[in-house]
Amino acid sequence: MRSVIKRAEWTIGPDRSEGASPSIREIECTGCGERSEASTGQLGPDAWAIGHTGATQHTGYREIVTAFLRVVPAPGNPLHTEPSGSH
C-alpha cells in the first residue's frame, strides 16, 4: 500500500549524495562575451579572466555557477532519516 503525505517539511541544499556532481564554474567577459572553459575548480576560470584582461584590457566579468541541489525530508517529516554518524 502507498502512503500519501499531504503536508510535510522539506529542505533544499547542495547535493552531497554519493556520486553527486560538484559545482561547475565559468567566467564570462561582459565586454565581448568570451567565456572561460567550465571547471569544477576556481583557478582555471580565474586565470583565464586575468589573461583575458591582459590581452584585451576588458575588466568586467560575470561568474556563471551551475550548482547541483537536492530536496530532502526535513526533521519532523515522516520520511526523514538521520545521516549516518549522527545521533
> In this structure, is residue 2 part of a structural domain?
no
> In this structure, is residue 17 part of a structural domain?
no
Residue 41's domain spans which residues? 28-76
> In this structure, is residue 59 part of a structural domain?
yes
Determine the Cα–Cα distance for residues 24 and 36; give it in Å rounded to an integer.
12
Q: Provide the number of structural domains found in the chain.
A: 1
> In this structure, is residue 4 part of a structural domain?
no
Q: Please, how many CA atoms are within 13 Å of residue 4, restricted to the half-sphere of its CB?
A: 1
Single-letter code of the amino acid located at 13 = G
Give, for all 87 residues of the chain, the pLDDT tens digit: 666 556 778 889 999 999 999 999 999 999 999 999 999 999 999 999 999 999 999 999 999 999 999 998 888 888 888 766 554
> In this structure, is residue 49 part of a structural domain?
yes
> In this structure, is residue 70 part of a structural domain?
yes
